[in-house]
Chain A
Amino acid sequence: QVQLVQSGAEVRKPGASVKLSCKTSGYTFTSDFMHWVRQAPGQGLEWMGILNPSDGTTSYTQKFQGRLTMTRDTSTSTAYMELSSLRSEDTAVYYCARSLYGDSSRWGQGTLVTVSS
């Protein structure tokens, strides 16, 4: 069956970086775009960007330009999201989501990132 399994919770200090993974199985990894969405505690959903696993092309929300990098490893069907220069406002649950609004839409379980000194 289709699975998106995200890496475990992370704690970072302000200014540090974090790299999250989203390991997929049960489908052809390169067939669908991968989105990353985050949700701060008690807040709404925030779309961060999109990755085309087929060729590695990306598009990010301007807010994260320069701090956000999405990559993938097709050999392990895994998508990655790296956020640098972390600040307290980056504390959130980060989700990967396959084909966000398509027939094969599926979300990962989320990864909590806590930024605290």
Chain B
Amino acid sequence: EVVLTQSPAFQSVTPKEKVTITCRASQSIANSLHWFQQKPDQSPKLLIKYASQSFSGVPSRFSGSGSGTDFTLTINSLETEDAATYYCHQSSSLPYTFGQGTKLEIK
């Protein structure tokens, strides 16, 4: 199965900062990489699909890039409401898998 490795696992950031989270796949997955946000005690929500396509209603400060094995989620001008855990997810080959998550703390 495809293993997704996220970094960092935890990051403490201040509002208005730019944040970059990376996700590396154990084999090429083309652009079949998606990003989810999960806030405490909530269900996850889709942010970015197919590496760089924004999901409907997601603020423009969220963007994604990458292909093959290396992917990035960027949050420009972080807001306090962005405190959450972020997960990458691949749908290139079964079984689908998630990264281990990146927890963002807002200082």
Contact = CB atoms under 8 A, between A and B. Distances in A.
A and B bound? yes
Interface of A: 35, 37, 44-47, 49-50, 59-62, 95, 97, 100-103, 105, 107-110
A100 B46 contact: yes
A44 B87 contact: yes
A80 to B, nearest CB: 19
Interface in B41-64: 43-46, 49-50, 55-56
A110 B85 CA distance: 17
A45 B43 contact: no
10 contacts: A37-B98, A44-B99, A44-B100, A45-B98, A47-B96, A47-B97, A61-B1, A95-B43, A100-B34, A110-B43
Given A101-B34, A101-B50, A47 B43 contact: no
A4 B44 CA distance: 13
Residue in A45, A100, A101 whose Cβ sees the most chain B Cβ within 10 Å: A101
